[in-house]
Structure 1
Amino acid sequence: MEKVMLGVSLYPEQEVLEEIDAYLKMASSYGFKKVFTSMFSVSGTKEEVIAYFKDFTKIVHKYGMVVSGDCNSELFHRLGATETDLSVFKEIGVDILRMDFSFNDERDATLINNKEGIKIEMSTSFIEIIEAAIKNGAKPENISTCHNFYPERYTAPSLEAINEINNYWKAKNIPVAIFISSLVKGSHGPWPVSDGLPTIEEHRDMPIEEQLKHCLALDNVDEIIIGNAYASEDEFKAIDQVMKQVYVDVPKNEAFGFLADFIPHGMIKRVPFKIQLEEGITELEKEILFNYPTHSDLGDCMNYMLRSRWTRMIYKGKEIPCRPCTKTHYTRGDVVIVNDNLAHYRGEIQIVLKDMKVDGQRNLLGRIDESEIFILEHIKAKDVFTFVE
């Protein structure tokens, strides 16, 4: 399983190389591999632009990262580049060109198949343009896509529209990059606007680790890039913690015999839910909740709940006495465990999706953090999830 690539953004006309070096040193230490930068916003002569970005890409490559340079037709003209000659970008050290434009004819295929070996990244919205380029002989393996970011509040498209286009490119096996946003006050993008740089409007004021979890739960993005600069080290630490919770290597449990093949194992991608525990939860209940590494629903009855069924086999024979609950109904986001009053299913962990009457057959373990309950909308059959206190 390939992990999602993490990236940061830099806007050189507003930053000095010493700051860039320090920032990329920190970002790379937390597993970030890509740098998005705007090339056409840097002023100067052709020689000055080339010299500047040579110094910039040296720093990026020093930390084992790749450079995606956002460019437009005016920059092509300034640097003397054409669809048949990208040598100036090769000289600069750019690994990927994010095209803020297209030729909208057979030249797009020529650009994508460039002899310099530079990958071409286009807007996710360029569906007809990319499809036409492929029909004209463009190699799909040379193409990736990237969403826009939206500095102006309330201008980002709907989540439904973003999800639809992500799924379209996933079906074509063409990578998709998306932007999330730092909440650091005064962080900047290419323009003097300080309302963040997300792709999804609902992310604009959300802690960065929750934005990340949401993008991972969508399961249709390949790269997640922080759109504004500079993110804080606390934000990098939060992202790093989530990534360590998401990607785990789980050994095959041979104790299950022939069923072992059906239980998630190997390198696993999980959705980690923060959970607020109920008072009175027992140590055994905590063990079942937190120690089992691959909770998932088989997908045949995802109506009132998500059911993690394997735990009832592992803990078969253990007693889970009924605990009283003050609620009349369990509500969406509650996490429960089947108790001794329904012994055949005892030990099964469930996440409530719809109101369920409290009938004494389940103990309340806790509740998913209110800020993360919306992620339940994106959990599909056999998706793996885990819990973090």
Structure 2
Amino acid sequence: MNSYGISLYLGTGIIKNTEIIKKAKDAKVKYAFTSLHLPEEKISDYNKEVEALLSLCKDAGIELIVDIGPRTIEKLGLPDIYSLKNTPITHIRVDYGFTNQEIADLSKDFHIVFNASTLSIDDLESLRALKVDFSKFSGCHNFYPKPLTGLSVDKVREINNRLHNYGVKTIGFVPGDKERRGPLHLGLPTVEEHRNNDLLEAVLQLRSLGQCDIILIGDVDVKEETWTKLKHLNENYIELEADIDEDYSYVRELIHHDRPDSSEYIIRSQESRGYATQGKPFEKEGVKPRVKGSISVGNIEYLRYSGELEIARIDLDEEEKVNIIGHIRNKYLKYLPYINDGMGFRFK
């Protein structure tokens, strides 16, 4: 199951970060990214701010992925990176300055996060020779503040597939939709196409097309409705606005999940297979157009498939064996391709 999270920055200030972390906890966020060596952030009491941020995340049950450079250890007044064992930090991103042997040693105490784009096959093979546990490693893609510098979804998938072959989890970023981080304020996506796109669609694309295991919002804050969407994602479903015939309003009562063996043509509700055992008639109601976004229920002509709920991913031929009971609203149709592999959805 995928995980979804946020980013936190010292420059945002402890008061606002406290508010953001509370929202993140309510949204069941499991991960947050932060960097402790951003040159543009001027922090008056660096150690105090860092300690407060770490404490807030620990209390909220959020695993903090910390981007650390050599100067960070010095600024924190620690003798070496191993001293971080005495802090709440569990995930450290190491971009440079460490040998593979040092990284293997660090992985005994921390979850190691690499730069996904610069981690080579030679590095992976070297680490394998050192008998590391790759379940304690992740590859984190960069976010790209400057327009036209981000990756393509295809490139992200290519890198992720290589890392997955070694059992390494992958992490990517989407931009926020409320307060974008400076100095450019132009979004912090991994994929360039996502810079000004719908946030939920960007998340679903990174999950489904990009094959990212963990998807984080790179910017400072998001809209209130996005926090709700983030909570739903962490519960493995999304909401779809739909118009549904009153006789079939019961389909709104539960969260449906697409079958793990996803079809390219329809979304099939696993839960709806139980409807046929509830004594509902599902009599044939006449043939209607079955366009993209049509919600249908199998009628008595579908025999043991009677009662199964489906959503058309594309325009389909008319079908006598199904009753068209409603339609997904147009602005939500773009999400249909990404509801797959057991992901959930609920009608609203």
- State the one-letter code of the partner of 2:30: K
- 1:298 shift after superposition: 7.2
Residue deviations 1:134-193, cap 9 Å, x none?
323433243222121122334322222223333433343322222233210x421xx412
**2:149 match:** 155
Quick one: percent identity of the two aligned structures?
20
1:147-186 to 2 correspondence within 5 Å? Answer: 147-184=141-178, 186=179
**1:238 match:** 229
Which of residues 92, 96, 113 is equivalent to 1:97? 92
- 1:226 shift after superposition: 1.8
**1:58 match:** 55
> Is the Cα contact below 8 Å between 1:113 and 1:142 reproduced in 2?
no
- CA 1:354/1:16 → structure 2, altered by over 3 Å: closer, same or farther? closer
**1:277 match:** 243
Q: Matched residue pairs, number?
A: 343
1:65-214 to 2 correspondence within 5 Å? Answer: 65-73=62-70, 75=72, 85-90=80-85, 93-101=88-96, 103=98, 107-114=99-106, 117-125=109-117, 126-128=119-121, 129-184=123-178, 186-188=179-181, 191-214=182-205
- State the one-letter code of the partner of 2:115: S
**1:310 match:** 273
- CA 1:48/1:183 → structure 2, altered by over 3 Å: closer, same or farther? closer
**2:309 match:** 349
- State the one-letter code of the partner of 1:276: A
- State the one-letter code of the partner of 1:36: F
**1:363 match:** 323
- State the one-letter code of the partner of 1:32: V
- 1:196 shift after superposition: 1.8
**1:383 match:** 342
> Is the Cα contact below 8 Å between 1:81 and 1:88 reproduced in 2?
yes
- 1:113 shift after superposition: 1.7
State the alpha-carbon separation in 1 of the partners of residues 186 and 311 from structure 2.
Answer: 34
- State the one-letter code of the partner of 1:166: N
State the alpha-carbon separation in 2 of the partners of residues 146 and 77 from structure 1.
Answer: 24
- 1:31 shift after superposition: 1.9
> Is the Cα contact below 8 Å between 1:42 and 1:49 reproduced in 2?
no
- 1:49 shift after superposition: 4.7
**1:223 match:** 214
> Is the Cα contact below 8 Å between 1:316 and 1:347 reproduced in 2?
no
- CA 1:351/1:319 → structure 2, altered by over 3 Å: closer, same or farther? closer
State the alpha-carbon separation in 2 of the partners of residues 320 and 193 from structure 1.
Answer: 59
Residue deviations 1:112-148, cap 9 Å, x none?
3228823221022214223322323433243222121
- CA 1:141/1:276 → structure 2, altered by over 3 Å: closer, same or farther? closer
- 1:275 shift after superposition: 4.2
- 1:211 shift after superposition: 4.0
State the alpha-carbon separation in 2 of the partners of residues 307 and 66 from structure 1.
Answer: 34
State the alpha-carbon separation in 1 of the partners of residues 241 and 130 from structure 2.
Answer: 51
Which of residues 28, 32, 37 is equivalent to 1:35? 32
State the alpha-carbon separation in 2 of the partners of residues 167 and 319 from structure 1.
Answer: 44
Q: Note if 1:335 corresponds to 2:328.
A: no
Q: Answer with 1 or 2: which has the greater Rg.
A: 1
**1:255 match:** none
> Is the Cα contact below 8 Å between 1:124 and 1:146 reproduced in 2?
yes
- State the one-letter code of the partner of 2:315: D
> Is the Cα contact below 8 Å between 2:156 and 2:210 reproduced in 1?
no
TM-score (norm 1): 0.72
**1:257 match:** none
What is the DSSP-based 3-state SS (H/G/I as helix, E as strand, rest coil) of the residue aligned with 2:226? helix
- 1:352 shift after superposition: 2.4
- 1:239 shift after superposition: 1.8
Q: Which moved more, 1:32-41 or 1:345-354?
A: 345-354
- 1:227 shift after superposition: 0.8
Q: Which moved more, 1:306-315 or 1:343-352?
A: 306-315
* Higher RCO (Cα < 8 Å, 6 or more apart): 2
Residue deviations 1:194-248, cap 9 Å, x none?
222122334333444444445555694432322111234443233224434x2xx
Give 5+ residue unaligned stretches, structure 1: 247-270
- CA 1:154/1:134 → structure 2, altered by over 3 Å: closer, same or farther? same
- State the one-letter code of the partner of 1:56: L
State the alpha-carbon separation in 2 of the partners of residues 130 and 65 from structure 1.
Answer: 28
State the alpha-carbon separation in 1 of the partners of residues 188 and 45 from structure 2.
Answer: 28
What is the DSSP-based 3-state SS (H/G/I as helix, E as strand, rest coil) of the residue aligned with 1:152? coil
- State the one-letter code of the partner of 1:305: I
TM-score (norm 2): 0.79
State the alpha-carbon separation in 1 of the partners of residues 31 and 308 from structure 2.
Answer: 41
State the alpha-carbon separation in 2 of the partners of residues 243 and 135 from structure 1.
Answer: 36
